[in-house]
Amino acid sequence: MFQQNPSNTGTAMAPSPPEDDDIRFEFDAGGEVISSPAISGDRLYVGSTTGTVHAVDVRTGAERWSFTTNGTVHSSPAVVNNRVYVGSADGTLYALTPASGDLVWRFETEGEVGSPVVADDRVFVTDRAGTLYAVSSRDGSELWSADVGPVYRSAPAVEGATVCIGSRNGTLSGFDVADGARQWTYEAGPITSPPTVVNGFVYVGDREGVVHAVDQSTGEAAWTVNTGARINKCAPAVVGEYVYVGNDDATLSAIRITDGEEAWTVDADRWISSPPAVADGRLFVCDGTGRLLGVDAQDGTVGWTRLLPGYVTSSPALADSAVVVGTGSGQVFAVGSREDSANGTEAATAGGSDSDGILSFVLAHPVPFTIAGCVASVVGLLHQLFASGGDG
């Protein structure tokens, strides 16, 4: 599911991130890949703006099946307990079988569906109309719904008895997972990024550039820090002693979890709306030009960078000693040693139990200079410029 687990921590327990820049395979999704792919076992699941969800062999890049919705897919799939859950702009949440892509059930909402999050036997999802739904993972029946205000394709975050979600009207809210009762509301700037919940605290960035750490039980702020520029579509990754987040001023920040003090920053080329992912002491993030950065998670040292043919707004996916990358050019890349692939390294399980599956994220890697790549990059820049005044 989005950001690897119900809490959106962005932590992947990968066997090891890739050591080289081999492109293991390239898959053409047929349309822009805006959301993050999910990896479970030997398959990755990814949607595109064509409205199609693809299941792809994570070692070879061969397509295993596809399922077409009636709208674009900006939702990151969640793969949990032998089900693939994905939302579509047609207002529907779909549950599919991971083996064949057969439809198990569908749940209708009032607007475009964001990325689902699964906890226990419930699927939590928002729609563009501003409603948070709790849906039975077994049969797709509605358990409860709550008004959360305008949201932008945002995934909720769940830890314990509370599900949290932010809205464009500047509120971060906590709801009881059992019945949807509102537990608290916290005032921030407009929120267009998913929250992250770790050890009883909710972390979220707003469009005024402020990162908030909020007590999950009371809704009161523990600390806030201003990063200096808008935070948009970038969920924080929370690992160890740091909160990692990017902003529109092309700055990646590591913020100390204890007091909100900035430990280090890294400058990218353009805006960062790709949520970071962390594994084995390394952080992976992509900027608006499609440049992938591999960063030491402890001190911010940039180990290497690579340029992709197209903008990237989704997160890195780490599995089978590879980084899986989806781009605005419609391509999905798996980057890592071909030898590791031949050895059949197991995919990473995400930050928790095996039943959580692994929800992965896309990042990028070097490809030859092409006209298509240039066009995709220009499209990405225009996309961000328009998004600055719209829903982005």
Q: What would the two tokens of residue 137 be?
A: 């993972």
pLDDT in tens, 93-117: 999 999 999 999 999 999 999 999 9
State mean pLDDT over 370-388. Answer: 37
Higher confidence at residue 107 or residue 380?
107
Locate 76 and state its tokens. 């990151």
- The pLDDT of 281-286, averaged and rounded, is 90
Strand duo 282-286 + 277-279: pairing:
antiparallel
User: Which of 19-23, 177-181, 305-309 has the least mean pLDDT?
Assistant: 19-23
Listed in sequence order, the residues at least 6 apart from 373 whose beta carbon sits closer than 8 Å to its beta carbon are 308, 309, 310, 329, 367
For position 353, what pLDDT does the model report? 30
Structure confidence at residue 24 as a pLDDT band (50, 70, 90) = confident
Q: What is the pLDDT of residues 335-356, one digit of tens each?
A: 766 665 555 443 432 333 333 3
- pLDDT, tens digit (0-9, with 9 covering 90-100), for 169-215: 999 999 999 999 999 999 999 999 999 999 999 999 999 999 999 99
CB atoms within 10 A of CB 339: 11
Largest CA distance in the chain: 53
- Look at residue 308 in the predicted model and tell me its pLDDT: 76
What does the alpha-carbon distance between residue 165 and residue 182 come to, in Å, rounded to a whole number?
11
Query: What's the whole-number average pLDDT of the chain?
Result: 83
- State the Cα–Cα distance between residues 241 and 264, nearest whole angstrom: 13
- The rounded distance, in Å, linking the Cα atoms of 14 and 348 is 4
Go through the domains of the chain in sequence order and give each one's CATH number: 2-388 (2.130.10.10)
Q: 378: helix, coil or strand?
A: helix
Q: What is the pLDDT of residue 342?
A: 53
Cα distances from 36 to residues 76, 178, 365, in angstroms, run: 5, 28, 15
Q: Residue 372 has what DSSP assignment?
A: H
The pLDDT score that the predictor gives to residue 333 is: 83
Element (H, E) at 132: strand 131-136
Which helix (H) or strand (E) segment is 151 a member of? Answer: none
Percentage, residues of the chain above pLDDT 90: 63
Q: What is the pLDDT of residue 338?
A: 65
Q: What share of the chain is helix, strand, coil (3-state, %, to 5)?
A: 10, 40, 50
